[in-house]
């Protein structure tokens, strides 16, 4: 937590705390969706591009915008809260 405000502009303009908070929000959101999902509703379908991409291991990289619900607030207490939530899921 002592490094949460540090930045390395060669890597990103955002602080370490911002990246950590964003990561934890995504992990917690994915966990919530997995818990509430129903596997019997899943229907497999063939997608050629998916097969090609995963076979080669090549993924296009681009800039994207995060959904608002996973954008971090970068507050110390917000970060601590997300860490506690993630620990409870483990």
**pLDDT (tens place) for every residue of the chain, 90 residues total:** 566 667 777 777 777 788 888 888 888 889 998 889 988 888 888 888 888 888 888 777 666 676 776 666 656 667 777 788 888 887
CB 72 within 8 A of CB 21: yes
Q: Cα 37–42–45 angle (5° rounding)? A: 145
Angle at which helix 76-89 crosses helix 16-36, to 10 degrees, equals 40
Helix (H, G, I), strand (E, B) or coil at 3: coil
Domain boundaries, the chain: 1-35+70-90
Q: Which residues, 6+ apart, have CB-to-CB distance to 89 below 8 Å?
A: 27, 28, 31
């Amino acid at each position: 937590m002592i490094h949460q405000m540090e930045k390395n502009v060669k890597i990103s303009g955002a602080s370490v705390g911002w990246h950590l908070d964003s990561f934890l929000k995504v992990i917690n959101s994915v966990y919530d969706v997995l818990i509430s999902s129903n596997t019997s509703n899943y229907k497999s379908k063939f997608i050629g591009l998916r097969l090609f991409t995963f076979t080669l291991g090549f993924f296009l990289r681009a800039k994207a915008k995060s959904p608002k619900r996973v954008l971090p607030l970068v507050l110390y207490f917000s970060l601590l809260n997300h860490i506690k939530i993630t620990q409870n899921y483990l």
